[in-house]
Structure 1
Amino acid sequence: MRTDHLIAALIADVPVKSHSAGRRALLLVPLAVVVVLLGFLTYLRIRPDLTSGSVWPAVAVKVLAASLLAFVGFRFALSLGEPGRSDRRLPRALLAVPAILLLALGIELARMGMADWQERLVGMNQLRCLVLIPLLSLPPLLGLLVALRQGAVTRPVLAGLVSGLAATGMGAAFYSLNCTDDSMFFVLTWYTLAALIVAAAGGLAGRIVLRW
Structure 2
Amino acid sequence: MRTDDLIAQLAAAGARPPLPSPAKTITYWVGGLGLYFLVLIFWHGARPDLAEKLQQTLFWGELTIMLAITTSALWVAGWLALPDGVDSRWKRLLPLLPLILLAGTLLYATTAPDALSLSECLRNHHFDCLARVLLYAILPALWMTVAIRRGAPTKPRWAGAMIGLAATSGGYILLRITEASDDPTQLIVWHFFPVILLTLLGGAFGRSLFAAVWKKKNHKIP
TM-score calculated relative to the size of structure 1: 0.74
Q: Give distance in 2, aligned partners of 1:195 and 1:48.
A: 25
- 2:206 and 2:98 mapped to 1: Cα distance? 25
Report % sequence identity. Answer: 20
Q: Is the 8 A contact 1:162 1:199 kept in 2?
A: yes
Following TM superposition, by how much is the alpha carbon of 1:49 offset from its aligned partner in structure 2, in angstroms? 0.7
- Whole-angstrom distance in 2 between the partners of 1:195 and 1:202: 11
| 2:217 corresponds to | none
| Counterpart secondary structure, 2:51 | coil
Displacement of 1:74 in angstroms is 0.7
- 1:165 is displaced (CA, Å) by 0.4
Cα deviations by residue, 1:107-160 (Å, 9 ceiling, x for unpaired): 563xx3376434774485731221111122222212211221222212323211
How do 1:12-161 and structure 2 match up within 5 A? 16-17=18-19, 19=21, 23-28=24-29, 30-42=31-43, 44-52=44-52, 56-86=56-86, 87-93=88-94, 94-106=96-108, 109=111, 112-113=112-113, 116-118=116-118, 121-122=121-122, 124=124, 126-161=126-161
Q: CA distance change for structure 1 residues 203 and 115 in 2, over 3 Å: closer, same or farther?
A: closer
TM-score under structure 2 length normalisation: 0.71
In structure 2, the partner of 1:197 is 197
- Structure-2 separation of matches of 1:207 and 1:34: 29
Distance 1:103 1:119 in 2: 20
Deviation at 1:186, TM superposition (A): 2.2
1:37 shift after superposition: 2.0
Give the gaps of 5 or more residues in structure 1: none
Q: Which SS does the other structure have where 1:210 is aligned?
A: helix
Match of 1:187 in 2: 187
Deviation at 1:196, TM superposition (A): 3.2
Report the alpha carbon displacement of residue 169 of structure 1 after superposing the two structures with TM.
1.3
Change (3 A) 1:123 1:65: farther
Alpha-carbon shift at residue 188 of structure 1 (Å): 2.4
| In 2, Cα distance between equivalents of 1:121 and 1:91 | 34
Say how many residue pairs are matched.
199
Provide structure 2 residue ranges, at least 5 long, that are not aligned to the other structure. Answer: 214-222
Kindly state the Cα deviation for residue 105 of structure 1 after the two structures are TM-superposed: 4.0
Q: For the residues of structure 1 that align with 2:45 and 2:210, how far apart are their CA atoms?
A: 35
Greater shift, 159-168 or 55-64, is seen at 55-64
